[in-house]
């Protein structure tokens, strides 16, 4: 126990040196970290300096209405050595999927961590919170709602991982039977960093955690609470297929010449223009590819309500409902109304004709 405490008190620099990591290795690690955090290489010395002094924070990971896809994404991260360094330097005190402890022991660990690090620990949430009937999702007899409220109280900040925690996600999709809501719908008094995506890019998750670890601050966020470094630009604006959009070259189907030539997928319903994420630059699987590169349009998974966005394969400029029919019915109704109203006009005109009093030369003056 005393050994553990002393470990927690050490800075990351001290920890690394004690493990025999050279300064050069540390610099390499910093370069990779900067790249991961989507920060310019000119920031490497600053990062090195901050990491040197960074202390190991306590992290409590809460999983609510979720599919564990986000955790899977994180643990499948390819830049393993960097992650392991980071996870070595954070204290993941509670994660009911990953931790060995179960039941009361697990909850006790959470409570202990909360007490010990009050005001300093980081809460990571994946999954949405059922707010209709709290009984839809409970852990150890505690409803998700209560656990979130209780855990958030002493947190320094909350990181929501995945669209469910950030915006409600799939549980929130119509008809939303559980009354699922996002963390920010419930917690109003803590800084919340949203890392949406279904799942989020693993490097983005670690990048955000690293930022907090490195600088101890909340990164610059957009209006949806997402870090601007990763969510600052739309997929469309950073897409390598963008030149085809500008030239008007589109794949019309999934197996036409355009698809083979790698043309823009806008017409196949790509939500790149309305989706903010780092997929186009960071890519997936260690920078191998991302959905558009694989020939599939972006489904906009890091945006609120993406599941109810009117169909994954319907282009953004197309109405979500059948307006051909609507227009035809409306036009037919318009013809009927026009004829009816026109008929009253015609009647009025013929009434005026009947009311006509012959004008003679005696009628030209008043």
Partner 1 sequence: MSASFEKGYNALKEQVDASVASFFSSCVHCGMCSEACLFFTETGAPERTPINKTEPLRRVWRQEYTLLGRLGKIFGFGKKVTDDMLAEWETLIYDSCTLCGRCSMVCPVGNDITDMIRKTREGMAASGHAPPGLIGATKRAVTIGSPMGVKLPALQAQIAHVENDTGMTIPVDVEGADYMLLLSSMEIMNFPEFIEAVAKIFKHAGVSWTISSDAFEATNSGIQIGSSDIAAELVQRIVDAAAKLKVKNVISPECGHAYMAIRWEGPNLIGKSYDFKVVHILELLDDLRKKDRLRVKGRLKDRLTYHDPCQISRRGGVIDEPRNLIGMFADNFVEMPDPGKMNWCCGAGGGVSSNERADEIRLRVFQRKKDQLDAIHVDGMISACSNCRIHLEDGLEEYHMELPVLSLTETLAENLDES
Partner 2 sequence: MSEEAAIPQFNIQIGNDLTWNVQPILHEIRHALDKLLETGETRVIDLRSIPLAPGEEDRIIDTLCCGEVHAKLNALGPSEIYETRFAGVWLVTHHNEENDIIGRFIEITRIPDILKSQHEDMSIAVHQLENELSEAAESNKPETDAETNT
Partner 3 sequence: MTETELLTWARGPGFQIASIIFALGIMLRLGEILMLGRKANLAEAKGSAMSSGLRTVFSRTVPDAATFKRSAFTVTAGYIFHIGLFVVIFLFAPHILFFKDLLHVSWPALPSPVIDATSVITIITLVIVLVHRLRDPVKRFLSNYDDYLGWFVTILPLITGYIAFHRVGMTAPSLIAIHLLSVQLLMVVFPFTKLMHAFTIFLARWYNGAISGYRGVQS
Q: Decide whether 110 or 236 has the Cβ nearer to partner 3.
A: 236
Q: Work out which of 133, 217, 253, 289 binds partner 2, going by CB under 8 A.
A: 289
266 touches partner 2 by CB under 8 A: no
Q: Decide whether 80 or 337 has the Cβ nearer to partner 3.
A: 337
Q: What are phi and psi of 117, to 5 degrees?
A: -110, 30
Q: How far apart are CA 258 and CA 236, in angstroms?
A: 18
Task: Please report where in the chains the tokens 């402890």 appear, as a residue.
Answer: 101
- Least distance in angstroms from the C-beta of 337 to partner 1: 8
Q: Decide whether 108 or 331 has the Cβ nearer to partner 3.
A: 331
Beta bridge partners of 61: 95, 124
Q: Decide whether 20 or 175 has the Cβ nearer to partner 2.
A: 20
Q: How far apart are CA 115 and CA 113, in angstroms?
A: 5
Q: How far apart are CA 118 and CA 151, in angstroms?
A: 10
Q: How far apart are CA 86 and CA 96, in angstroms?
A: 19
Strands (E), the chain: 58-63, 91-95, 121-126, 129-130, 138-139, 142-143, 155-161, 180-181, 192-195
Q: How far apart are CA 178 and CA 272, in angstroms?
A: 29
81 touches partner 2 by CB under 8 A: yes
341 touches partner 1 by CB under 8 A: yes
* From partner 1, partner 3, partner 2, none, interface partner of 356 (C-beta below 5 to 8 A by class): partner 1
Q: Work out which of 12, 166, 280, 301 binds partner 2, going by CB under 8 A.
A: 280
| Span from 33-41, 78-86, 146-154, 352-360 in contact with partner 1 (CB under 8 A) | 352-360
Region of 298 on the Ramachandran plot (φ > 0 left; ψ -120 to 50 alpha; else beta): beta
**Element at 57 (helix H, strand E):** none
Q: Work out which of 2, 6, 42, 360 binds partner 1, going by CB under 8 A.
A: 360
The footprint of partner 2 on this chain (CB under 8 A) covers a number of residues equal to: 43
Q: Which of residues 292-331 bind partner 2 (CB under 8 A)?
A: 293, 295
Q: How far apart are CA 315 and CA 297, in angstroms?
A: 10
| Span from 94-102, 177-185, 276-284, 296-304 in contact with partner 2 (CB under 8 A) | 276-284
Q: Decide whether 115 or 237 has the Cβ nearer to partner 3.
A: 237
Q: How far apart are CA 167 and CA 231, in angstroms?
A: 15
Q: How far apart are CA 280 and CA 293, in angstroms?
A: 9
Q: How far apart are CA 258 and CA 266, in angstroms?
A: 12
Q: Is 307 helix (H, G, I), strand (E, B) or coil?
A: helix
240 touches partner 2 by CB under 8 A: yes
335 touches partner 1 by CB under 8 A: no
349 touches partner 1 by CB under 8 A: yes
* From partner 2, partner 3, partner 1, none, interface partner of 95 (C-beta below 5 to 8 A by class): none
287 touches partner 2 by CB under 8 A: yes
Residues that bind partner 3 (CB under 8 A): 167, 222-224, 234, 236-237, 245-248, 250, 266-267, 273-276, 300, 303-306, 308-310, 315-321, 323-324, 326-328, 330-335, 337-343, 345-346, 349
| Span from 72-80, 120-128, 300-308, 346-354 in contact with partner 1 (CB under 8 A) | 346-354
Whether 180 and 129 have beta carbons less than 8 Å apart is answered as yes
Q: Is 319 helix (H, G, I), strand (E, B) or coil?
A: coil
| Span from 25-33, 113-121, 206-214, 341-349 in contact with partner 1 (CB under 8 A) | 341-349
Binding mask 6-25 for partner 2 (x = CB under 8 A): ---------------xxxxx
For residue 168, count other CB atoms closer than 10 A to its CB: 25
DSSP 267: G
Q: Decide whether 82 or 114 has the Cβ nearer to partner 2.
A: 82
38 touches partner 2 by CB under 8 A: yes
Nearest partner of 97 among 65, 128, 49, 63, judged by Cα: 63
Residues engaged in binding partner 1 (CB under 8 A): 341, 345, 348-349, 352-353, 355-366
């Amino acid at each position: 126990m005393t050994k553990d405490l002393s470990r927690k008190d050490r800075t990351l620099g001290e920890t690394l040196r004690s493990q025999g990591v050279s300064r050069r290795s540390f610099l390499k690690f910093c370069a990779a970290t900067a790249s991961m955090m989507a920060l310019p290489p000119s920031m490497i010395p600053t990062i090195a300096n901050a990491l040197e002094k960074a202390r190991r924070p306590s992290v409590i990971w809460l999983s609510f209405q979720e599919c564990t896809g986000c955790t899977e994404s994180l643990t499948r991260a390819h830049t393993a050595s960097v992650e392991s360094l980071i996870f070595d330097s954070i204290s993941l005190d509670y994660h009911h999927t990953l931790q060995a402890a179960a039941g009361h022991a697990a909850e006790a660990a959470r409570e202990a961590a909360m007490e010990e690090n009050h005001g300093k620990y980081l809460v990571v949430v994946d999954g949405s919170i059922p707010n209709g009937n709290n009984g839809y999702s409970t852990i150890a007899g505690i409803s998700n709602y209560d656990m979130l409220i209780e855990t958030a109280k002493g947190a320094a900040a909350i990181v929501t991982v995945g669209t469910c925690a950030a915006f409600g996600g799939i549980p929130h999709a119509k008809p939303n039977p559980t009354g699922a809501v996002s963390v920010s719908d419930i917690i109003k008094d803590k800084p919340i960093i949203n890392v949406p995506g279904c799942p989020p890019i693993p490097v983005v998750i670690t990048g955000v955690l690293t930022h907090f670890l490195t600088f101890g601050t909340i990164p610059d966020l957009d209006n949806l609470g997402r870090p601007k470094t990763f969510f600052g630009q739309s997929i469309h604006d950073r897409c390598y297929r963008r030149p085809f959009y500008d030239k008007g070259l589109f794949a019309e189907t999934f197996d036409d010449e355009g698809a083979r030539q790698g043309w823009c997928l806008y017409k196949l319903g790509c939500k790149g223009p309305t989706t903010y994420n780092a997929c186009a630059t960071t890519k997936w699987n260690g920078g191998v590819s991302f959905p558009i590169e694989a020939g599939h349009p972006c489904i906009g998974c890091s945006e609120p309500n993406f599941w109810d966005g009117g169909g994954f394969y319907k282009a953004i400029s197309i109405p979500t409902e059948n307006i051909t029919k609507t227009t035809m019915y409306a036009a037919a109704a318009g013809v009927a109304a026009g004829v009816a109203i026109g008929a009253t006009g015609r009647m009025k005109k013929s009434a005026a004709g009947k009311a006509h009093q012959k004008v003679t030369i005696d009628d030209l003056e008043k």
